[in-house]
Chain A
Amino acid sequence: MATPRICVLRAPGTNCDLETAFAFERAGGQAARVHLFRLLETPDLLAKFQILCVPGGFSYGDDVGAGVVFGRQLRGHLGDAVGEFLQADKLALGICNGFQVLLKAGILPGTKKDSGSRDAGSPATGKTSSPEPQVTLTWNDNGRYTARWVELAVSSPHSVFLRGIERIELPIAHAEGRVAVRDAGLIDQWRESGQLALQYASPCNTNTASGAACGSRFPANPNGSVADLAGLSDATGRVLGLMPHPERFIDATQHPQWTRRRMSGDGDGLRLFRNAVDYFA
């Protein structure tokens, strides 16, 4: 299959769907912006796609917590369709609000190698009977929405999306991006299973004294995430959630220092989308 089809799934309040679809197209994929209501009407639609992407935004206003309501839809009404999708050899990507959605749907971090058979609740009623969540994305340490560029280190070669990438600069723009865990032991488990995908890192090429910062402190770690976590993979490497926005760096001129570094051509963020599309080549 040469050209994978990507479902860029938008709900009320999603607002990064256009540029995310554009990034997939630029990478050679065939992207469709699909409204959640269409999928709720016809869950089988999902099976026609190879990549599911939940883009950034404020789904349902983030009114009762970032990604909570959209996440509930995915594991409730759409639990079966999403479960089947993930059991196939397909990819799922959650960016920013999409990461929050995947996490609150329980799709991330996932528990088993075959990431399809997680607790999807009972779709018939939409009621859930999942165990207490072990990890969440919650308010940034500084207590407010923050937009800035960060330096990221790829910590595991495991994720399909991050293949061949060691470090990458991307922008973050979120209020609830701090990864918090119930039990710190989870971090070691994730490290072992290759799920620690992306971590905030200190900038390596600033040339002023004030630019040097430790990776675990603000602003290098912009939200206070445990273990500097910026992105989390499932155990198969086929599902990735990340707070930074790769779709905002597909062209050099999107970089905050492109005039300084005389950058031109593609932006590094495009590599994630290329990796996803190339998986089906």
Chain B
Amino acid sequence: MHCVWGLPLVDPSHPATPATWFRFRDGLKGNKGSSMLWEIEIHPVEGQTDREGTRATGEAVAFGTATITTVRAARSYLVEGELDEEEVTGEAVGLLADGVVERCAVHRLPAHAHGMQPVGVGESTSHPSPLDPHLLNVLFKPGVTDNVGATATQALKDVGLKVDRVATCRKYWINAEATEEDIARLCGKVLANDSIERVIRGPLPLTSIAVGSDYEFSLRTTAICDASDAALQELSKVGQLYLSLVEMQTIQRYFRDLGREPTDIELETVAQTWSEHCSHKTLAGRIHYRDERGERHFENMLKETIFAATQTIRARLGDDDWCVSVFKDNAGIVRFDDKQDVCIKVETHNHPSALEPYGGANTGLGGVIRDPLGTGMGARPVCNTDVFCFAPPDTPHDGLPPGVLHPKNVMQGVVAGVRDYGNRMGIPTVNGAVYFDERYLGNPLVYCGNVAMIPRGMSEKEVVPGDYIVTVGGRTGRDGIHGATFSSAELTHESDELSGGAVQIGNAITEKMLMDVILEARDRGLYDAITDCGAGGFSSAVGEMGEECGAEVWLDKAPLKYNGLSYTEIWISEAQERMVLAVPPVSWDEFESLCASEGVEATVIGKFTDTRRLVLKYDGTEVGNLEMAFLHDGRPPVIREAVFRSSEPEGPNNQNPAPEGPNDHSPDRQGGFGQRPNASSVNSAGPGAHASRFEEFGNTLKEILGSLNVCSKEWIIRQYDHEVQGGSVVKPLVGVCQDGPSDAAVVRPDLTSNRGLVVSCGMNPRYGDIDPYWMAAAAIDEAVRNCVAVGADPSRIAILDNFCWGNTECPETLGSLVRAALGCQETAVALGTPFVSGKDSLNNEFTYEKAHGLHINQAHGLQPVGLGTETISIPPSLLITALGQVADIRRCVTMDLKEPGNVLFLVGQTEAEFGGSHYHWVTDGSGGTVPRVDLERAPAVFAAVHEAITTGLVRSCHDLSEGGLAVGIAEMAFAGGRGVTVSLEAFGTMDDTVVLFSESCTRFLFEVPASDADRFAKLIEERTGRSAARLGVVTDTDRMRVTNLDGRVLVDETIGGLKECWQRPLDWA
């Protein structure tokens, strides 16, 4: 927490000195004579709900800890300093507790040493005792960021109290009958997260909450020049460098040639720079790929597929190219209007979110916001997008593999993490999606994206040798250091071991303050270049910025959260909320005082040079000296095998259950590798089998509406501020009760202009199980469809790819990814939607010991028994994010039905495409082809839809996706509070099931005023060469009624009933 109270006291004459307002260092040298540790316990007063206690009790029931019947909760502050009782019970309590709804108890710590009776305020009659053995105290492990504690410290100092530090604590009193086993389970599963928190039973024995220790410098080298291959591999593993043998040998040769051993920091720097996360060596590497049509060799797979699509499109656009900066900076940039360009980036934060969902998702969003902020000369964020993948939240608790958090808890934590960062930053979270699949159990996915505006002409940056290397924002701690071990110190002792290695806690306010000063400094022209400090910390940020020129870093100058960090830890720490800038010495004074004026710490930690070397120093001693060329170009190429084997049924005997029409877009272009794979068109156990079950169509519709991927996500959406900044045009929830599912969000980034941005996404892991090529095509089509449905211009849509895959060292897994990339390439080119940015996250799988049961171990509670390991790999998870634009937001449309009497149309071709469908999901069906995008016709459909919307013919528009036509109609009806009467005559003899539930791509539903219906139909037919299907009319009844060609009633349901099915599954309290 780096907020400033009162006036900041940064001395501009000492640019490299840490600002003195942040006084952590004052208290590090041990306790002062009269320093005391106080605890202020805060309880709800009578009549106010004990929400945390109620939550914990409910969770205990859910986890089956039968002996735990009541949990009472309180929060507390541990306040250390030279304070007397009067000051604590007066000033401190007055500030920290809300006297209207809370009451306090104050006692000195350690609790057992200072009597039974709490001192001070509050009604203590019904007060739970701080000495109760069934009291559980949950505290952050030492070194984990405690934002509230830091704010409280500053606030108490500001009112004149001599406070050294404050920590926060949660307290739980468990009913006396609870067994030890149940309490142990409660602690592990409900009350605390072991990766960041510790639980102390009974009275708090703490005497101090100080952290940190002195650091004694000593230069460390690692002997590798004479190491055997086995030793190199061992070093890579033990040192958590995650480098291959070939890479280790390359490093060995480099240092042999230099005639010296590497220092620890040099090895770390190389490992960081060459890491998968920083260099994308797998997908940007050599891949030898095979599938049913032959083989292909890629020198750089991403470049030859994803980037190539963008190059093709840009070349085709010629002078009308609207891409500005793609695949080279922290985010992609495209043209917006004559004043501004727009940036977008989507990242993943999967593994941290699996360990600690709140912190992982929190810093995931915080991290991706810094990407546009560090793109070009810096961009101003205008909205966020967030997509999650979880296992079903109703997964049984007792079937969980050891070490896995329950998916409902993961989901709650992730949503809260995103919520708290986005809302605090004041950036609206406007778009998102959630996908559920059992295979995300141990490996949930968290995709966070950010869209930001940058003035035209600010997309390029260049470091000038001589510029200061400046770190701005948060301080450096052990956060995110790979090798940091979690504290396992005796809990009763003051511990100077610091934890939080893998898990970080964000501070959105620090980042907001940082953002404000950076944008101001940008506009004043105070720096030459900027980048974010993310994975790899300073190592990555400085290494990238200085790649072309060289850099010298003075590691001892970096401001620290606490003492005790080694030079290497400082260099590779992934502490949050930091940016690195290249500031010309002439601008430094103004830059530093600008930062100081808003309480932001800025520190010179080195300078850029013209040596093309990376030189690292600590207190004047050189600790590292590497050639930039070796770091950035020295990595040996990775070569991987990839193979794809179709899981679709093949052979001539398959029958298409759809009774009509050839599948005219199952192309089988001969020759050219990388073209669409041949369709093995149909399945033998198709949905035709269900065609006679008319009475079940309504039930099937309700089941799909109530399935997890389709059902309402209102519980999540309403926790996000989607309107801050005032630019909201189309919200994520629309309709008469503002609870219908919008296809995309529209945001106006400049309140003086009517030009708008459209954000949407597409993702279909279930299709990917069958054919990743068509999954990719469908995901792009879906993202574009969603964009176009609200009014986006299809000729101005930029897209992003985020590949989350399993272990790509497995050729089949990598093969499915390559196949998806090929689908991306051709679909993007066909639709004219360039990829502008992307990111991949590989090796998303979870391995655990299979348990045949659990047995109780006296020391550790429940332990799994049995042997053998099991690995769960996630399904192929390609997220496509689309960033569209609308020329005039006043032309946007929403998906809720508006007026009775209007005509309902379907545009786009329906085929029997049930592979991976939600119809199969709810009917336990399988097989079938996945939907295939008709790449020849789709562009004309999108253009026609856009023309119809911009000419004002359309009252509402909704895309068809999971669940097909029936779901689309139902959603439009209940969102608008209108009935519909639909006839399927226009589909002739096509199977009713296919018409209602097939998930064919590039389809839209329209509500058109009756007076415009002919005009609309004519426009669609002229532009697409196919007629729109006239389905029926909007009614002022409360029913959705669908009849088929024969006049038989297929669906007759109340819209209230359908809505209820759709809202219920995730309508959590």
Q: Which positions in A face B, CB cutoff 8 Å? A: 12-13, 15-16, 18-19, 22-23, 35, 37-38, 40-41, 56-58, 60-61, 63-65, 68-69, 72-73, 76-77, 125-128, 132-136, 138-139, 141-149, 171, 173, 180-182, 206-211, 245, 247-248, 250-251, 253-254, 256-257, 259-260, 264
Contacts and interface: CB of A to CB of B under 8 A. Distances in A.
B598 A60 contact: no
22 contacts: A18-B726, A22-B726, A37-B8, A58-B423, A60-B151, A63-B147, A63-B148, A65-B98, A68-B95, A125-B160, A134-B100, A145-B419, A147-B719, A173-B721, A206-B737, A206-B977, A209-B1056, A211-B736, A248-B723, A254-B726, A256-B738, A259-B734
A19 B726 contact: yes
Contact of B892 (A40, A142, A259): A259
B507 interface: yes
A57 B736 CA distance: 28
A208 B737 contact: yes
Contacts of B896: 260
B725 A18 contact: yes
Which 8 pairs between the two chains have the least Cβ-Cβ distance? A15-B426, A63-B151, A19-B726, A208-B977, A136-B100, A13-B509, A61-B509, A63-B148
Interface in B576-590: none
Interface residues of B, number: 75
Contacts of A210: 737, 977, 1056, 1059
Contacts of B151: 60-61, 63-64, 69
Interface of A is mostly: mixed
A257 B738 contact: yes
B940 interface: no
B598 A22 contact: no
B894 interface: yes
Contacts of B719: 144-147
Contacts of B98: 65, 133, 136, 138
Residue of A13, A141, A182 with most chain B CB atoms under a 10 A cut-off: A13
Contact of B723 (A22, A57, A76, A173): A173
A245 B751 contact: no
B6 to A, nearest CB: 6
A16 B724 contact: yes
Given A35-B598, A63-B1, A210-B737, 6 more contacts: A60-B509, A125-B160, A142-B1069, A208-B737, A254-B729, A259-B898
B720 A147 contact: yes
Residue of B155, B509, B892, B977 with most chain A CB atoms under a 10 A cut-off: B509
A25 to B, nearest CB: 10
Contact of A37 (B598, B722, B892): B598
A72 B51 contact: no
Contacts of B729: 253-254
A125 B424 CA distance: 30
Residue of B3, B49, B733, B735 with most chain A CB atoms under a 10 A cut-off: B3
A152 B940 CA distance: 46
B557 interface: no
Contacts of A147: 718-723
Contacts of A69: 5, 151, 155, 158
Contact of B100 (A38, A135, A209): A135
B296 interface: no
A146 B718 contact: yes
Contacts of A138: 48, 98, 100-101
Contact of B7 (A22, A37, A127, A253): A37
Contacts of A40: 6-7
B100 A19 contact: no
Nearest to A135: B100
A180 B597 contact: no
Interface string B416-433: 000100011110000000
Nearest to A145: B719
Contacts of A56: 724
A259 B956 CA distance: 9
B1 A127 contact: no
A16 B426 contact: yes
Contacts of B148: 61, 63-64
